[in-house]
């Protein structure tokens, strides 16, 4: 395998063999180690010393179902610490097939110098961005696929990333004409913008058989894993994940009182029935949209959808739970059409819908728009694309919005907005938000699926649960496996060990693999420690510890001592 280093200062590309230290790493694990080794932890996240790292997981390129996710990483301008965000789509698989361990963007060009990195088989070159500079992610992807071919994968940023706004994510094209796969969190779109990289285009690799260390071991484990996905009652063809996508959980999150509602002032929303996955499917199919689509080739779950307007014209694909909660119930919007319009605009500007939905919630509390009033919210969001001062406030995320607009109720940990689970009534997630080196991020350890194991409203057992989930998340993010495809691996980790040993011949045991996953967290925590981040920086905001959240009227009351002890047994 090889590394592709892209020097944005000298505008040079360089292939190099993978250093021994990085050989057995992929995705999030590689990002954590590379940051620790090569990036000064206290550097300016938008300056020349930070690096933009784009890496497939260890399973990338091997046609394992739902395992082609692409990790994007760097020091986060939002949290000031380590960040990895990942996206579905075709780019992770393409890089894996090309034997590319990672693309590493380094240095910084002169201001307003914009480039595209074009990768074709064993060659790479930087090209002037030309007429795609200034465009949203939809038009950027369209133009680049017209130019380089419809099968190429495009990784791009929109106006938010170009404007170095800290709510900016990185957009990745998916199977067919899909556009909206986003490595959304942590402001990595701004890091990409700071490198003057508007897009990376990867030509579809020739289908070349890559050597496997133990073909039989790999194929047998991959087949068993895929069959277990197909047979899983939630993930298979009659399962809720396939039929309704992530929106299938709207009712249950509302039920436990954790659905962000009107800037996290309540945990249930009276109009939540209109936002459910069943409604999403019904409306989608009635209008000629699509349900049960895939973001990447070979995923047997196929959880996605293409949501269409009343004329049957696609608005956005896919509408996801986190977006429905943060730009839906959190803004008091009672219908999916409104959510889809805001979602489209966020996608086009290249904004994280979680960060932006939270920032808009704070803006409403400041009196700049009204809950439930789509027009006033659209008018605010439009300003991000226009780059006005107020638009830049929203585009820089919820903490900036709170500070500038004088709002104290800011749902964030470590500078990053909370996703769609209020930590007061899903305390396991609160522990994750308040301890994860990734900041408030449900994908770092989501306790929602474990709500029947540990009482979400209680304190007991939360720190142990969060640690367990954080280790699993590190495994998923380092192998490139989709979060939704985790059940067979959690039930039988040997399947993952066999797939990796079958590909690479490392002879890992389950215990060694567990150590590998724990090391990801250790490395990230060390980077954050070097960056000067302390326990107090991770904490749940004071108001959530003091103001009861309806309908259960609970506060976040997991003691600091428990939070401080989460990693004691790591």
Binding residues for ligand SF4 (CB under 6 A): 66, 88, 294-296, 299, 301-304, 482, 484-485
Q: Which is nearer to ligand SF4, 239 or 541 (CB)?
A: 239
Q: Dig out the tokens for 293 from the structure.
A: 């689509």
Q: Which is nearer to ligand SF4, 484 or 527 (CB)?
A: 484
Q: Which is nearer to ligand SF4, 145 or 320 (CB)?
A: 320
Measured CA to CA, the distance from residue 446 to residue 440 in angstroms comes to 11
Give the length of the chain: 570
Measured CA to CA, the distance from residue 538 to residue 566 in angstroms comes to 13
Q: Which is nearer to ligand SF4, 57 or 136 (CB)?
A: 57
Q: Which is nearer to ligand SF4, 68 or 397 (CB)?
A: 68
Q: Shortest gap between Cβ of 306 and ligand SF4 (angstroms)?
A: 12
Measured CA to CA, the distance from residue 94 to residue 297 in angstroms comes to 11
Say which residues have a Cβ less than 8 Å from residue 169's Cβ, sequence separation at least 6.
Answer: 85, 157, 161, 182, 183, 184, 185, 187, 188, 189, 350, 351, 352
Q: Which is nearer to ligand SF4, 51 or 304 (CB)?
A: 304
Q: Shortest gap between Cβ of 363 and ligand SF4 (angstroms)?
A: 30
Q: Which is nearer to ligand SF4, 283 or 301 (CB)?
A: 301
Give the pairing type, strands 100-106 and 170-172. Answer: unpaired
Q: Which is nearer to ligand SF4, 168 or 291 (CB)?
A: 291
Q: What letter would DSSP give residue 315?
A: E
Q: Shortest gap between Cβ of 488 and ligand SF4 (angstroms)?
A: 13
Measured CA to CA, the distance from residue 120 to residue 471 in angstroms comes to 35
Q: Which is nearer to ligand SF4, 306 or 482 (CB)?
A: 482
Q: Shortest gap between Cβ of 66 and ligand SF4 (angstroms)?
A: 4
Q: Which is nearer to ligand SF4, 91 or 256 (CB)?
A: 91
Please answer whether residues 450 and 469 qualify as being in contact, where contact means their C-beta atoms are separated by less than 8 angstroms.
yes
Cα angle at 116 between 17 and 151, to 5 degrees? 85
Residue labelled with tokens 């215990």: 511
Q: Shortest gap between Cβ of 298 and ligand SF4 (angstroms)?
A: 9
Q: Shortest gap between Cβ of 62 and ligand SF4 (angstroms)?
A: 14
Q: Shortest gap between Cβ of 42 and ligand SF4 (angstroms)?
A: 35
| Chain CA centroid to CA 117, Å | 22
Strand partners, 82: 75
Q: Dig out the tokens for 275 from the structure.
A: 């936002």
Residue labelled with tokens 């990867």: 202
Q: Dig out the tokens for 259 from the structure.
A: 């659905």
Reference 306, options 175, 153, 184, 145; nearest CA is 175
Measured CA to CA, the distance from residue 74 to residue 31 in angstroms comes to 7
Q: Shortest gap between Cβ of 463 and ligand SF4 (angstroms)?
A: 29
Q: Which is nearer to ligand SF4, 253 or 301 (CB)?
A: 301
Residue labelled with tokens 């047979």: 231
Q: Shortest gap between Cβ of 138 and ligand SF4 (angstroms)?
A: 19
Please report which helix (H) or strand (E) contains residue 410, including its range.
none
Strand partners, 104: 5, 53
Measured CA to CA, the distance from residue 197 to residue 155 in angstroms comes to 10
Q: Which is nearer to ligand SF4, 253 or 303 (CB)?
A: 303
Please answer whether residues 258 and 426 qualify as being in contact, where contact means their C-beta atoms are separated by less than 8 angstroms.
yes
3-state secondary structure of 549: strand
Cα angle at 277 between 271 and 283, to 5 degrees? 85
Reference 328, options 404, 263, 257, 394; nearest CA is 263
Q: Shortest gap between Cβ of 88 and ligand SF4 (angstroms)?
A: 4
Q: Shortest gap between Cβ of 302 and ligand SF4 (angstroms)?
A: 5
3-state secondary structure of 20: helix
Please answer whether residues 114 and 140 qualify as being in contact, where contact means their C-beta atoms are separated by less than 8 angstroms.
no
Q: Shortest gap between Cβ of 98 and ligand SF4 (angstroms)?
A: 20
Give the pairing type, strands 304-308 and 290-293. Answer: antiparallel
Q: Shortest gap between Cβ of 292 and ligand SF4 (angstroms)?
A: 9
Please answer whether residues 321 and 304 qualify as being in contact, where contact means their C-beta atoms are separated by less than 8 angstroms.
no
Please answer whether residues 370 and 304 qualify as being in contact, where contact means their C-beta atoms are separated by less than 8 angstroms.
no
Q: Which is nearer to ligand SF4, 88 or 257 (CB)?
A: 88
Q: Which is nearer to ligand SF4, 318 or 436 (CB)?
A: 318
Q: Dig out the tokens for 110 from the structure.
A: 């002169």
Q: Shortest gap between Cβ of 443 and ligand SF4 (angstroms)?
A: 12
Measured CA to CA, the distance from residue 176 to residue 88 in angstroms comes to 13
């Amino acid at each position: 395998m090889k590394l592709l280093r892209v020097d944005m200062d000298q505008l040079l590309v360089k292939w190099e063999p993978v250093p021994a230290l990085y050989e057995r790493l992929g995705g999030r694990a590689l990002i954590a180690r590379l940051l620790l080794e090569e990036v000064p932890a206290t550097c300016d996240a938008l300056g020349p010393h930070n690096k933009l790292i784009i890496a497939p997981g260890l399973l990338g390129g091997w046609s394992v179902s739902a395992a082609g996710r692409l990790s994007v990483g760097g020091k986060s301008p939002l949290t000031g610490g380590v960040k990895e965000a990942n996206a579905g789509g075709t780019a992770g698989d393409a890089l894996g097939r090309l034997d590319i361990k990672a693309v590493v963007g380094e240095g910084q060009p002169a201001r307003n110098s914009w480039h595209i990195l074009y990768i074709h088989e064993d060659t790479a070159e930087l090209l002037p961005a030309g007429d795609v500079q200034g465009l949203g992610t939809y038009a950027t992807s369209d133009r680049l696929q017209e130019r380089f071919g419809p099968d190429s994968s495009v990784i791009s940023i929109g106006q938010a990333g170009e404007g170095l706004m800290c709510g900016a994510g990185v957009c990745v094209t998916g199977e067919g004409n899909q556009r909206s796969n986003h490595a959304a969190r942590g402001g990595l779109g701004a890091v990409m913008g700071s490198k003057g990289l508007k897009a990376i285009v990867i030509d579809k690799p020739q289908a070349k058989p890559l050597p496997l260390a133990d073909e039989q071991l790999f194929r047998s484990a991959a087949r068993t894993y895929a069959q277990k996905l197909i047979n899983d009652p939630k993930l298979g063809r009659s399962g809720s994940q396939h039929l309704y996508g992530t929106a299938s959980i709207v009712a249950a999150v509302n039920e436990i009182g954790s659905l962000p509602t009107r800037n996290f002032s309540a945990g249930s929303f009276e109009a939540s029935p209109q936002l459910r996955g069943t409604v999403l499917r019904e409306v989608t199919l009635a209008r000629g949209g699509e349900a049960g689509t895939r973001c990447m080739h070979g995923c047997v779950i196929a959880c996605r959808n293409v949501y269409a307007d009343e004329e049957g014209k696609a608005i956005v694909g896919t509408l996801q739970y986190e977006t429905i909660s943060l730009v839906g119930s959190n803004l008091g919007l009672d219908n999916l059409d409104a959510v889809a319009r805001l979602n489209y605009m966020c996608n086009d500007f290249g904004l994280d819908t979680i960060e932006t939905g939270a920032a808009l919630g704070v803006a409403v509390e400041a009196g700049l728009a009204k809950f439930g009033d789509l027009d006033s919210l659209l008018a605010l969001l439009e300003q991000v694309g226009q780059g006005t001062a107020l638009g830049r406030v929203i585009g820089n995320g919820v903490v900036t919005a709170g500070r500038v607009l004088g709002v104290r109720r800011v749902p964030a940990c470590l500078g990053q907005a909370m996703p769609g689970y209020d930590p007061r009534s899903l305390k396991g997630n609160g522990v994750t938000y308040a301890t994860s080196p990734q900041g408030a991020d449900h994908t770092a350890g989501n306790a929602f699926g474990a709500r029947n194991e540990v009482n979400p409203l209680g304190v007991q057992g939360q720190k142990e649960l969060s640690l367990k989930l954080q280790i699993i998340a590190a495994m998923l993010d380092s192998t490139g496996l989709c979060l939704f495809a985790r059940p067979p691996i959690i039930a039988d980790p040997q399947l993952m060990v066999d797939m990796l040993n079958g590909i690479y011949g490392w002879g890992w045991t389950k215990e060694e693999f567990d150590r590998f996953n724990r090391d990801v967290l250790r490395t990230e925590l060390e980077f954050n420690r070097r960056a000067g981040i302390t326990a107090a920086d991770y904490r749940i905001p004071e108001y959530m510890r003091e103001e009861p959240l309806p309908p259960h009227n609970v506060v976040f009351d997991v003691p600091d001592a428990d939070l401080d002890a989460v990693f004691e047994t790591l």
